[in-house]
Amino acid sequence: MPGSGVAGGRPRVVVLGGGRGLTATVRAVRAYAGRTTAVVATADDSGSTGRLRSSMAIPAPGDVRRCMIAMAGLEDLPLGRAFEHRFAGTDVEGHALGNLLLAGMTAVTSHFLGAIDEVSRLLGLDPEVAATLPATVNPVDLSATTVGGTEVFGQYAVSKTPGIARVWLHPPDVHAPERVVAAILDADQIVLGPGSLYTSILAAALVPDIHLALAEAQAREVYVCNLEPEDAETLGYDVAAHVAALVAHGVEPDVVLVSRDCALPLGDVKIDVVQASLAAPDGTAHDSDKLAVALTDLLP
């Protein structure tokens, strides 16, 4: 049950989202958690990921790849850099090696989860301690409606669209792996973000099994707000607007963690707000060490 902890009393923590923000959270949580489970959005349809999705009908591998490297602490080591290496001047130009490996393993194992398990072993990850899981193993796309009534299809297109009123998944009945649901219900802490509000966090949280599990979870749910609004999908948002968008989609965090260095005004936030110094020295991303301290302070 939540609160029991693992690995010498250290907590079970689930992090949810996608993009580079999720990797910052993974690095932070690995510093204090006994078990870390990353639940990764898989609706990306751009770049190398999009090309592999269209040719093989697989979930998006890109954010899964990044998260696994962060989980293994290999980002600055040769193996981690190799996973991120993008080929140029060849038949696989533009593809990241890690994406190709996940796609190849999916073909060999006939299942995206099987591919992740095999690559996790290659990276030396113990799934009982550090697990990366896709929000769904079914191919899925993100759609949106703007406040003006325009419908937008595809995650990349949604990311370039201001004035979003609502997002949803297509098809709507995709399923999350059982391990994802179990991790959420068993968690001592659940961390949403940082990351793109609609195309990372909600792209994962709106998978029906995950949506229900988040509503039923006993763990404290922490939303880590971005440092600044994005050029399109959250243009003009303050912190309150970010939280309100989550709540409007049925995702209700218990507390929002906001950096004192944040370029976003607070606005009228309807949930508890905790402020801390979270920004990296260049001010463009969250510092994982600072984030680890702030998240530890929010444990039950």
Of all residues in the chain, the percent with pLDDT exceeding 70 is: 96
Write out the two tokens for 86. 């993008």
Express each pLDDT in 21-69 by its tens digit. Answer: 999 999 999 999 999 999 999 998 877 767 777 778 788 888 999 999 9
Express each pLDDT in 263-273 by its tens digit. Answer: 889 999 999 99
Q: What share of the chain is helix, strand, coil (3-state, %, to 5)?
A: 40, 20, 40
According to the model, what pLDDT value does residue 41 have?
A: 94
Express each pLDDT in 278-299 by its tens digit. Answer: 999 888 899 999 999 999 999 9
Scored b (16 or more CB within 10 A) or e, 218-254 reads: ebbbbbbbbbbbbebbbeebbbbbbbbbbeebebebe
> Domains along the chain?
12-137+173-297 (3.40.50.10680)
Express each pLDDT in 183-218 by its tens digit. Answer: 999 999 999 999 999 999 999 999 999 999 999 999
Q: Is the pTM of this model over 0.75?
A: yes
pLDDT beyond 80 at 90: no
pLDDT beyond 80 at 73: yes
Q: Outline where the chain has alpha helix (H).
A: 19-30, 47-56, 62-72, 78-84, 97-109, 112-122, 155-159, 178-186, 202-205, 208-216, 239-248, 288-297
According to the model, what pLDDT value does residue 3 have?
A: 46
Helices 178-186 and 208-216, axial angle in degrees (round to 10): 20
